[in-house]
Amino acid sequence: MVILALGGAALWPIACGNNLTPPTQAPVTVVQTGPTYTVTRTPTASPTMTATSTATLTPTNTPVPGATWTSNSISLSKWNAVTYGNSEFVAVSIGSSSSVHFGESSPNGTTWTTFSLPSSTNEWVGVAYGNGTFVAVANGTNIAATSPDAITWTAQTLPSTKGWISVNYVNNLFVALSQSSSVAATSPDGVTWTSRTLPSSQDWVGVAYGNGTYLAVSTTSAAASSTDGATWVSQTMPSLNWQGVTYGNSLFVAVAYGSSFAAISADGSYWTEQNLPSSQDWDAVTYGNGVFLAVATGPSTKAATSANGISWTAQTLPSSQDWSSVAYGNGVFTAVSGGLLGAGTASLVTGSAW
């Protein structure tokens, strides 16, 4: 109960609080007459309450990105990496005895065109796009290749012959990693390369960039971070066989082979493990359209999606394959298989993003 007073004298009580209605009071008119005040009231109508309707929310069935997949076949075999750039997907193969230096490109992940890489090596293992250029690297050589359109390719030279395993374009820089080595290489254009030294000799597998940090991960608990891509410092991850890393939604997300775990970090130095839907040979992870998508090798039909890197949902790929790489572009997730299917073909999958 609140008492309203004027000039120290109580005039009337006003009730307040839940389910209490203030009494009807007239407006107060104060007329000054020397040292005293006269209070008069003019009657007014009582206040009224008008009911309003309550809004009703109706759920809609919006497809989850990475949940609907279509199987496609492309020629050759043992596709090891796929990327998206210049309005097309580009995949490279580690080759076979009959086809040793080819890749394929596609604007939509469905219809593919074969191209020739400039070297007869059969170990093209990584491909990336940035700065208007596709860059591919080959394992066990010092060979790289560049192309503006994924049709015409030019041979380039890496700083040394190593077990190069991947290349990524992150924060205006191509970064190539090698296995059983402490050597990395960086380039702004895929043509001029500079050798870099990582903190220890590891089987390095992938690199991502976010929050001002380059982050490289290996198949052990060893990781490395850099603010400029030139000088790298050691970081420690949970002790698992990490195979892929990406950055999205302000988080680094890595997935591990032979486990049911992912790991997330805001800065690459402090990591927490998260549960994936099942124990699989998780081999690759990417981010697109607000969703993290991981695929498993094995062979396997398993994939998993997450909006935040913490809660993951199981997805099913259309066939059991050694899924080795996944990329996002133009509203589509595209995964490639590293295994053989039938007469030297490999299966490729596109997933709708809406």
Query: Where do the structural domains in the chain lie, given as residue ranges?
Result: 2-41, 69-352
CB 143 within 8 A of CB 185: no
What pLDDT does residue 339 have? Answer: 66
What pLDDT does residue 351 have? Answer: 64
Q: Which of 52-66, 67-81, 178-192 has the lowest mean pLDDT?
A: 52-66
pLDDT of 98 higher than 50: no
Q: What backbone torsions phi and psi does residue 22 show, to the nearest 5 degrees? A: -65, 140
Pick the most confident of 33-37, 77-81, 202-206, 296-300.
202-206
pLDDT tens for residues 126-154?
999 999 999 999 999 999 999 999 989 99
CB 114 within 8 A of CB 75: yes
Q: In this structure, which topology does domain 69-352 adopt according to CATH?
A: Methylamine Dehydrogenase; Chain H (2.130.10)
Kindly tell me the sign of the dihedral angle through the C-alpha atoms of 84, 86, 89, 91. Answer: negative
pLDDT tens for residues 286-311?
999 999 999 999 889 999 999 999 99
pLDDT tens for residues 105-115?
677 677 778 88
Mean pLDDT, residues 321-338: 88
pLDDT of 97 higher than 70: no
Reported as a pLDDT band with limits 50, 70 and 90, residue 272 is very high
What pLDDT does residue 101 have? Answer: 46
pLDDT tens for residues 9-49?
443 444 444 444 444 444 544 444 445 444 444 444 544 54
What pLDDT does residue 66 have? Answer: 65
